[in-house]
Amino acid sequence: MADDILQIFSNFDGRFSKENLADKVADGDPRACAALDHSLKSLDRRISQFVSSDRPIWADSADAVAFLDAVDELVAAVAEWSQLSTDKAFGACLARAEDMLQHAMFRLEDEFRSLMERAGESFELTPPYRNGVESVENIPFDSDEEENELEAVVNDGGEEDQIPVALPLTDYDIVIDALPAGTINDLHEIARRMVAGGFGKECSHVYSSCRREFLEESLSRLGLQKLSIEEVHKMPWQDIEDEIERWIKASNVSLKILFPSERRLCDRVFFGFSAAADLSFMEVCRGSAIQLLNFADAVAIGSRSPERLFRILDVFETLRDLIPEFEALFSDQYSVSLRNEAFTIWKRLGEAIRGIFMELENLIRRDPAKVGVPGGGLHPITRYVMNYLRAACRSRQTLEQVFEDYGHPLKDYPKLDDRVAPNSSLSVQMDWIMELLESNLEAKSKVYNDPALSYVFLMNNGRYIVQKAKDSELGALLGDDWIRKHTAKVRQYHVHYQRSSWNKVLGILKLDGSSNGSMGPNGTAKTIKEKLKMFNTQFENLCRVQSSWFVFDEQLREEIRIALEKILLPAYGGFIGKFHTELGKNADKYVKYGVEEIEVKLNDLFQGNSGSTGSRK
């Protein structure tokens, strides 16, 4: 502020230069006190008529010029003779001068406030609406930026007292002037005198109190509520989601339009006085900036329930993209703390995102393995986790940034050290979650008493996992080797199912005896009929049970059936052929199923029912 005052003095004439002041002091001129007294009386008459006036001085431009000239002379006189204040006579004169200066500054402060208030009322950003749409031509722009257009603001209901709602704004390359150019020039002239008179802070406070109200009203018109962190934490999540939507819009408008416009206005009003401009800008924007940051902070330190991830990602990305604006706007001594706070909260949001993934891990671990899904169908945890990860990986670049900055070392993920090649921290995180899901599903498969049904369950869920991972950002993170490995796992489950379920049936159809397939000397008609009866019983039981099982994927279901047909139909056909050979014409009355009928029965497998089909989405 001292530098600002010194700059003011340099604009006056040479009488008040440092050199002439030194000469006056050194000479100790006895006429100086009388001259000063005479000057003060003259200035008192000129200034008092304006200070005591009830009408605004700036209502008449000639009065404004005269008052400012008198203030300039008073400021210069005080500055010229202040070094002689130790002299008793000079001290009394200077006390009178400082008292006059204080009254003049108080009146300038009132005029400054009055100019801002009158200009603000007549130069609103949102003037009266006509047919619900604000005319763009009523919005002020600097003369060299008049080609820019601000998005119209509409009144939702058409009533005059209804709060207007801003239409979506996509072009933020807008700078607005909230005051007329003439008013800005008048404010600058007043500010220049107040800074010179040592009232720079008072001028800044008056300025900021007026402009702060404008910013607060602007945020309110954008739909943003003033909420404490505690109030945000008490809100239902649905309400917080709606508030986040409004916060994103308000943050972009504030950091890209409103705050830069306020910075520009401060620089024009306090042109030449950077300290006063910086202080004023900080006082104007601090409250609104803290309101925006506090909400983001409330989101960051709130619940880390997995369903909150996507909205928290929105807040993280918005704040990340606005960090350059924070750095550009809030870098001076008064406002640098706001920039630092924005960066801290952005990092805190990253920690919240990582915490949500940890909570997802806990959710998978805690999901109980008590009752099996009917028919061995898809388990809800599989659907939830896979759809969740697919949706999350649509924000892959953001998640990469979050986990690269704060990724856990590989040693924190058991079993992965030897398996995972050097990859991104996000890839390791996804691999670990898949590992937890697979372990959970394997535990759940043991709930089934029938081993074959356990393998159907693992086939269903394994196939779903592979399908959801393929052709997605999730699959790209896990890698082609992971996809191939888990596709092979599903095939292995298929082999285990077939062996555990159908090998016993196939064993019945094996023909004893020589390599040519004859029944041999011990093969009696009675033994053949018993084998056929056993086959029919076990086959029917398997078909009855497995027709209620469910395979969600039509292609997988077809693959299982075709594989069964390839091993069962030839074996059954060979057995029936030998049966006819041994029993001749009497064979037909013992054969319950032909080969075609066996095939039909196999086609009825894995149809499931409404309670076991599950969703494949």
DSSP 469-491: HTTSHHHHHH-HHHHHHHHHHHH
Q: How far is CA 161 from the centre of its chain?
A: 33
pLDDT at 86: 60
- Write out pLDDT tens, residues 567-592: 999 998 888 887 777 666 666 677 78
Taken as a whole, the chain contains a residue count of 617
Identify which of 66, 68, 92 has the alpha carbon closest to the alpha carbon of residue 81.
92
pLDDT at 531: 85
d(Cα 87, Cα 34) in Å, to the nearest integer? 13
pLDDT at 368: 85
pLDDT at 20: 46
- Write out pLDDT tens, residues 546-575: 999 999 999 999 999 999 999 999 998 888
Identify which of 546, 598, 541 has the alpha carbon closest to the alpha carbon of residue 575.
598
Yes or no: say if 372 and 457 are a contact pair by the CB < 8 Å rule.
Answer: yes
Number of C-beta neighbours around residue 162 at 10 A: 12
> Bigger pLDDT: 592 or 298?
298
Judged by average pLDDT, the poorest of 27-36, 249-258, 399-408 is 27-36
pLDDT above 90 covers a percentage of the chain that reads: 54
Q: Which residues contact 126 (CB under 8 A, 6 or more apart)?
A: 134, 153, 164, 221
Task: State mean pLDDT over 436-449.
Answer: 94
pLDDT at 551: 92
Could you write out the three-class secondary structure of 68-135? HHHHHHHHHHHHHHHHHCCCHHHHHHHHHHHHHHHHHHHHHHHHHHHHHHHHHHHCCCCCCCECCECC
d(Cα 230, Cα 233) in Å, to the nearest integer? 5
pLDDT at 409: 46
Rounded (5°) CA angle 532-537-543 = 120
For residue 415, report the phi and psi dihedrals to the nearest 5 degrees.
75, -10
- Write out pLDDT tens, residues 97-143: 888 888 889 999 999 999 998 876 655 544 333 333 333 333 333 33
Yes or no: say if 260 and 329 are a contact pair by the CB < 8 Å rule.
Answer: yes
Q: How far is CA 522 from the centre of its chain?
A: 80
Using the predicted structure, report yes or no on whether residue 78 has a pLDDT greater than 90: no
Torsion from C-alpha of 229, 234, 236, 241, nearest 10 degrees: 0
pTM of the model: 0.77
Q: How far is CA 132 from CA 139, 150, 159, in A?
A: 16, 16, 9
pLDDT tier, 299 (very low <50, low <70, confident <90, very high otherwise): very high
Burial class (CB in 10 A: 0-12, 13-18, 19+), 497: buried
Task: State mean pLDDT over 25-41.
Answer: 64
